[in-house]
Amino acid sequence: MSCYDEFALLQEQAAELGLPWDRPPAVRREFVEVAPNRRLSALVWGRRPAELVLLHGGAQNAHTWDSVALLLGRPLMAVDLPGHGHSDWRLDRDYTPRANAADVATAVQSLAPEARLVAGMSLGGVTAIALMAAYPELVRRLVLVDVTPGCNAIDARPIATFVRGAPRRATFEQLLEYATAALPEPRPASIRRGLLHNAKADEHGSWTWRHHLGSFDEEEVLSVADSFPPLWHCLAQGRVPLMLVRGGRSPAVSAADVSQLREIRPDARIEVVEDAGHSIQGDQPRRLAELLEQFLAQ
């Protein structure tokens, strides 16, 4: 497990999706300096200018979008949020949406300035709202994947519990066993890929999370979610086309959230993806890719 080739896993993923594999897709990892001695990382798919920017959720990384990227076949950029994936950790431990958005803006300006759509799931979604508010020229269409500013610390608690409950000084097999038991409707191959992307071996051979949230206590993780509600105002002020995609099995977006969204943005398109939980991009990537294509074509 010490040898990690992040792109070697794509062929297995394509086979699961029933996609042909004539040759590996054009995808590369890029780094952009967003502050002195701190870089943001992203996966850039395709050789033409990126048409979409994809932002993952808390305790995830850019590879959570691999299936969607393979299905779309479009040039796009999937970002590792600050403190996640291969992006550097922040010394101030600030991973709130507004702080994230400032870093993401620098990366988008450098790697995807003409993107036609920004889509964000969970923490990535509220980061996208903050990005739209502070850098409106970078967000031409906005897709929120199973999140609104109404999602709060209660909604984030299962994620915090999962992150903090992982065994310490674990082998990869022990971490895989923990994740398989903890996650609903486990898909062993998918969980294994996810862990290879989201964890790393230290100098002693123990596996730990790549993301900084893995070193947070539970209350620190929950405090990030407490920063979401003020973004309702930003969402109300936004004028770009907006789509909310909810998971049919996810409790993250409540009926009250939907009502508030309809009140402040009556033009918003709202879709429900059945048989999907919070991570729609993992549970139903084909349907999410279809919705993104439709929204781009409107």
Any catalytic annotation for residue 278? Answer: yes
The strand pairing partners of 32, in sequence order, are 40
Instruction: Kindly name the residue from 67, 197, 278, 279 that is annotated as catalytic.
Output: 278
- Pairing verdict, β 242-247 and 207-209: unpaired
Rounded distance, CA 33 to CA 31, Å? 7
Is the CB of residue 82 less than 8 Å from the CB of residue 100?
Answer: yes
Per-residue exposure over 71-103, b if at least 16 CB sit within 10 Å of its own CB, e if not: bbebbbbbbbbbbbbbbbbbeeeebbbbbbbbb
Instruction: Kindly name the residue from 66, 88, 146, 155 that is annotated as catalytic.
Output: 146
Say which residue the tokens 């947070």 belong to.
Answer: 216
The strand pairing partners of 200, in sequence order, are 208
Any catalytic annotation for residue 146? Answer: yes
Cβ-Cβ contacts under 8 Å for 222 (sequence gap 6 or more): 153, 156, 157, 160
Q: Is 144 exposed, middle or buried (0-12, 13-18, 19+ CB in 10 A)?
A: buried
Instruction: Kindly name the residue from 41, 87, 122, 250 that is annotated as catalytic.
Output: 122
Amino acid at 181: A
Q: What token pair was written down for 115?
A: 């993107």
What are the residue numbers of the active site?
Answer: 122, 146, 278
